[in-house]
Chains A and B, each alone.
Chain A
Amino acid sequence: MDFRDDPAEAAFRGRFRAWLADHAPTGPAPLGGEARARFWSAWHRDLYQGGWMGLSWPTEYGGQGLPAVYEAIFNDEIGAAGAPPAPHVGFLGRALLHAGTEDQRRRFLPGLLSGDEVWCQGFSEPGAGSDLGALATRAERTDAGWVVNGQKIWTSDAAWADWCLLLARTDPTVPKHKGVSALIVDVRQPGVEVRPIVQSNGDREFNEVFFTDATTPLDHVVGAPGDGWTIAMTTVAYERGPTDVGFSSRYARVVADLERDAAGLDLDPGLRLDLARAHVQTAVLRAHVLRGLSARTGDAAPGPEGSIDKLLSTRTEQILHHATMDLHAAGALQGAQPGVVAEYLYSRAASIAGGTSEIQRTIVAERLLGLPRG
């Protein structure tokens, strides 16, 4: 048992840390609009040109062919540096690597990796959030291609995306999870309209996306028609482990900043304990995600344990932002700490996005504890 890097990992970490010191953007990402798009695009291209994208992808598609732990170290260092999170290409890449055709991989993976083409993920709908299987966006097969009608919501990055990996119902005659297909759809066509959603913290990360007789070629289905659900569920979980390591180092940095702000202040004793609790919780998350990462050997698909990790990560983020809000309370409420307030409000998304905490608890109860289905 060792909670540290092996020598090769440590060397890689050192190289990436040095690169980040020179290249990571400083200051927060702009909220919404063209500036936000430019910011993220530039960050993505910088990482790619530095040779840091697709570390665990096969070399024939532009990857580095390294073991998955290098993705974890990559995310770990980005979090520790307080750099913007890495572009979310992992899940999309997995979907194409696992289920795509050779033509699809050669056509789409290089642009996904380099940032030359921006992708979004069209899963949730107004009527299909936690009950994603109830999705109602339809894709009809015609001789000319698929014709898509419906609406997606909470679609990150859609406002400047080129492509969408879309879950759509292609067969309404079979049980709900079986009639879903994964389609690659051009977002920049007249039948697709994107409307940004203004979040409670002012950001415009998410969008509504409307499809009105939008089209895509027949060979833009990933896997067989009807496989969409399975592809989405098996590939989405892959990215959890490495991403969680990144969260843990990002939270550790937030805690360190918090402690720096608090050091030397005459604090209420209760607040001191709360700050110590935030420190403890963050260290606990780190120990746990490192153990979880070690438990995932080779290329095995992650199991329901990922739901424990997500619940723990959520707990940590929310405890942490209670602490930052409490430390800065008076100033934050008078408008002196916009960053603290924005981060706090955003922390409430942790228990909602990517599967609500209620959904995660049901998975833990039924699949890990073996309690009978409700």
Chain B
Amino acid sequence: VAHVALTDEQVMLVDTVGRIVADNAGAEHPAPPAEVTGAGAGPQGVDPDPVLWQALVDAGLVGIHLPESAGGGGGGAVEAALVVEQLARGPVRAPYLGTVLALDLLHRAGADDAAAAPLGGHATAITLDPGLRAPAAWGVAFDGAPDGPSVGLDADGRPVVAASAAGLDGFDLTRRLAAVPDAPTGTAVGAPLGADERTRWEAFALALLSADLVGAMHGALDAAVAHARDRVQFGRPVGSFQAVQHRCADQLVTIESARSTTWWAAWAVDALPPDEALHAARVAKAYCSEAGRTVCEAAIQVWGGIGMTWECVAHRYLRRALLDRQLLGDERVHLAAIADRQLGAVGAGTR
């Protein structure tokens, strides 16, 4: 009826990424802002961790989902999703998601040559419109490096490689956002993406964003649960109180179901026709987007006052989850699209 367990190779992959994350833990927390200028850490705070990034490159994880003929690892979207989830669970500052999305876009446009440099180890951002809804020729570079390029799509659906400009004081403390000016500075590469390729790329991107949300949610819950085991009030660990236990249990139900759905969506990217793959990905992104905020906020509540401090990891997960939620459409966007698919478009009412 279904064979959904991870293979031995996939389990090893998860272990490998988990080890890289653990080896680099502790180095990634940015200093608090020197003065109150905004809610972020300042643009310098979210530059990638070069040691961690190199470790991911050395392990062959960048481009793991691309065919070996294109210099990739010969895996699929499921493998990429497993890596993304572990990195978000850290959470670590490695521009993996942006780079993988950019590489995938280039590959689908037959522009693997343009991807040669990133596969060699240069982080590459993905260019999105200012609303963070869809790939664009200019707007915002998501998840790259200060000296790295950003890949978007022009009006004809051709990939555009541009240099990103000034970093933004972004809300997320683990991934860099930068401006991509609307002057025509980019270089179009490859062929325009066909409709199917465009749809599959979107499905791939939504599945990976869902995986990122799953990782952030689970990291947030793990940390909060560890705290609840140790923190004593009224002479008992607070995690022994039913109110705390049940809040945590509900989050785990959400996270595990989000993970199952994300696996389904990632599997569908390569296995189902494009429209069905996109539908699965919308389901996952709608569910994980809504869940991400709920779970990460619940985790802060479990921490109590510590959860409001800069040094507590809880807000880093929340920040990451809220950016993931917005990227390529939050739950409202995808629920509306699902409603259109299942019920017919608004205004089509005949009864």
Interface residues of A (CB under 8 A from B): 1-6, 9, 69, 72-73, 76, 245, 259, 262-267, 269, 272-273, 275-277, 279-281, 283-285, 287-288, 290-295, 297, 305, 308, 311-312, 315, 358, 360-362, 364-366, 368-374
User: Looking at the complex, which one of B244, B257, B267, B351 makes contact with A2 (CB distance below 8 Å)?
Assistant: B267
> Of A266, A272, A290, which one neighbours B1 at CB under 8 angstroms?
A290
Contact residues of A: prevailing secondary structure: helix
3 nearest CB pairs, A to B: A365-B245, A266-B349, A364-B249
Contact indicator A73/B1 (Cβ below 8 Å)? yes
Cβ–Cβ contact B1 & A76, under 8 A: yes
Q: List 7 A-B contacts (CB under 8 A).
A: A3-B267, A288-B261, A308-B252, A312-B253, A361-B249, A365-B245, A371-B245
Assess A371 versus B346: contact at CB under 8 Å? Given A1-B6, A1-B263.
Answer: no
Nearest-neighbor residue (CB-CB) of A69 within chain B: B1
In the bound assembly, the distance between CA atoms of A264 and B348 in angstroms comes to: 6
How far, in whole Å, are A6 and B2 apart by their CA atoms in the complex? 8
Could you tell me the distance between the alpha carbons of A369 and B298 in the complex, rounded to whole angstroms?
A: 15
**A262-B343, A288-B260, A370-B229 known; A361 and B245 CB under 8 Å?**
yes
Whether the pair B349, A288 counts as a contact (CB closer than 8 A) is no
Name which of B15-23, B62-70, B133-141, B334-342 contacts chain A: B334-342
B residues less than 8 Å from A295 (CB atoms): 4-5
Please pick, from B6, B239, B338, B351, the residue contacting A372 in the complex, using a CB distance under 8 A: B239
Separation of A102 and B257 alpha carbons in the complex (Å) = 41
Closest B residue to A269 by CB, please name it. Answer: B346
Interface residues of B in 184-216 (CB under 8 A from A): none
Kindly state whether residue B125 has any CB partner on chain A within 8 Å. no
Residue of B4, B225, B338 contacting most chain A CB atoms (<10 Å): B4
Chain A residues closer than 8 Å to B252, beta-carbon distance: 308, 364, 368-369
Known contacts A2-B271, A273-B332, A362-B249; A373/B339 CB under 8 A: no
Contact B240 A371 (CB under 8 A): yes
**B286 interface hit (Cβ, 8 Å):** yes
Distance (Å) between the CB of B252 and the closest chain A CB? 6
Contact partners of A360 in chain B: CB under 8 A: 249
Q: Is the CB of A72 within 8 A of B1?
A: yes
Who on chain A is nearest to B221 by CB?
Answer: A369
Measured CB to CB, the nearest residue on chain A to B285 is A280
Is B53 interfacial (CB-CB < 8 Å)?
A: no
Contacts A371-B229, A374-B242 known; A264 to B350 CB distance under 8 Å? yes
Q: Does B171 contact A (CB under 8 A)?
A: no
Chain B residues, Cβ within 8 Å of A277: 286, 335
The answer on a CB contact under 8 Å between A280 and B257 is: no
> Smallest CB-CB separation from B349: which chain A residue?
A266
A263: which of B236, B248, B338, B344 is its contact (CB, 8 Å)? Answer: B344
Contact (Cβ within 8 A) A5 B1: yes
B260 A276 Cβ-Cβ under 8 A = no
Given A259-B343, A293-B1: A288 touches B242 (CB 8 Å cut-off): no
How far, in whole Å, are A276 and B334 apart by their CA atoms in the complex? 9
Distance in angstroms from A119 CB to nearest chain B CB is 27
Quick check: B257 and A288 within 8 Å, CB to CB?
A: yes
Q: How far is the CA of A64 from the CA of B174 in the complex (A)?
A: 55
**With A1-B78, A266-B351, A283-B283 already in contact, 12 other A-B pairs whose C-beta atoms are closer than 8 Å:** A3-B271, A265-B343, A273-B332, A276-B336, A308-B252, A358-B242, A364-B252, A368-B249, A369-B225, A369-B245, A369-B252, A372-B229
CA distance A311 to B253 in the complex (A): 7
How many whole Å from B278's CB to the nearest CB in chain A?
13
Asked if B342 and A276 sit within 8 Å, CB to CB, the answer is: yes
Q: Which B267-318 residues sit within 8 Å CB-CB of chain A?
A: 267-268, 271, 280, 283, 286-287
Q: Which of chain A's residues have a CB closer than 8 A to the CB of B349?
A: 264-267
Closest A-chain residue to B257, C-beta based? Answer: A288
Q: Are A276 and B264 touching (Cβ within 8 A)?
A: no
A371 to B239, CA, bound (A): 5
Partner of A294, one of B4, B236, B344, B350: B4
B257 touches A312 (CB 8 A): yes
CA distance A292 to B244 in the complex (A): 26
Task: Return the chain A residue nearest B256 by Cβ.
Answer: A308
Q: A284-B257, A287-B261 are in contact. Are A3 and B336 (CB under 8 A)?
A: no
B282 nearest CB neighbor, chain A only: A280
With CB as the reference atom, state the residue of chain A lying closest to B332.
A273
Q: Which residues of the partner chain B approach A264 to less than 8 Å between Cβ atoms?
A: 343-344, 348-351
